[in-house]
Structure 1
Amino acid sequence: MNLTKKFILPLGLALLVGGGIHFKQTAISMAPTAAMHKPRKAGVTPKEALFERTVIRPLADKTEKSKTRLQKLMSQETATLYSVNIDWKSREAELISAARQLKKDELIQLGDIVLNRTGRSDEKTVASYLLAMAGEPARPVLRKVAISPIETKSDGDPHSVLAMKRAEEVNLRASAIAAIDELSRKNPQASLQDLAAIRRAQSDPSLQHMVMISLIGIEQGRPGKLNRWLEQVAGNGEAQ
């Protein structure tokens, strides 16, 4: 199952565009402040070098060492989220292995990151991906994400900031639904209950459509139908 292709990269591209807008706004807002200060002289004084060596670097090293396993994994993946110089096929195998070693409290933390409305988009994307890769232990968290309400309301403009925010919320829940569909291959009854709960909780048409496809697959004795459909859509094929 390649969830990167299905959800993460499409979402990443949208967020990248949004990030560009934010960067431009930040640069503009900083321009007057920068103009008020004279450029610093090149070079570093002996005192500055000593401070860097004895205070700044040890503090940075201590901070890095104090990071938890999950924090290190999140930092590493957010730093390379949009990199084009990575073999994603082999990297995905490594991430699956890392995700399946995560403990219950770490999976709960990932869910909290995904549902944090004021959190960073890149962190939400990585957290959603890791949850989808974590397998059966992540089921309760995936269900919580999938049934959580979409709080951003549409303003009618598909290119607005609000529309992008809503699209992000929908994508994160879609990723959770696809992961629950994948889990239905081994545990269809548990997924059946999860999908029924999601169907009652979500009114978004695209999420409802995904839930129905997954439910039909289970009822037909062919669990995993949603993921097969997504693969065919990605390849411009017809759903079966």
Structure 2
Amino acid sequence: MGFLSHKISVDDVKPGDHIYSWRQAYVYAHHGIYVGDGQVNHFTRGDGQETGTGTFLDKIIVSSTPSHGDSPCPNCGDRSKLGGVISSCLDCFLAGGDLYVFEYSVSPAIFLAKPRGGICTIASSDPPEEVVYRANFLLRNGFGVYNVFKNNCEDFAIYCKTGLLVANTEVGRSGQAASMVAAASVVLSSPLRFVAGFGGLAVAGYGMYCVSRLASDIGMRWDVSKVPVERLVADMDDMVGMESKPEDNKTS
């Protein structure tokens, strides 16, 4: 694995690794946790089951559920309609793409030197056995409702690796989502209009982009806390129960 590329061989992947594979010609990456025995647990939207963003991104970020057309995978079967946390063989997870590993405990300098989000973090990883435990627990109990910005496949994998949750849910733990928001804020930022010249605009814009990415990283944020996976699932169940509970009948 080099400085610019996190690509690794299938033979080098280890249980507890946070892995990813690029989709749609490198438009975005799909993330998961390798749990051993050739299996990957990952959080995905099933066909027709994604809540979506209500933007053009819904046409770009398609379902990452394994699909083999008329020839289902002999190991996984037909999972094209499944959503939520699922387990797939490594071949199905990669969907014909290359295998990359997400890096943890990188320095701020290394983080900023990699301009694309969603490939590394300053945060530290927990031991592999804890990572695999969380990934398997969530496979049985779910990880809530999929949302591209607030609760996506990268959020799932980062939580499994760190046990960290973000209190502010406007943008979750995902570096990919943070990069999109950072890029949009640069484009819309009014102070840039006063920077003289195109060169100055580019430098100032890239600087704002980098600072925004760094501030949004799970390892730098102040609004995070360590949450045991059992409590996470219990809290999700409580929220579902409250939403589904009918209102008390009012008497006049």
- Relative to the length of structure 1, the TM-score reads 0.23
- Relative to the length of structure 2, the TM-score reads 0.22
The structure richer in strand per residue is: 2
Larger radius of gyration: 1
The structure richer in helix per residue is: 1
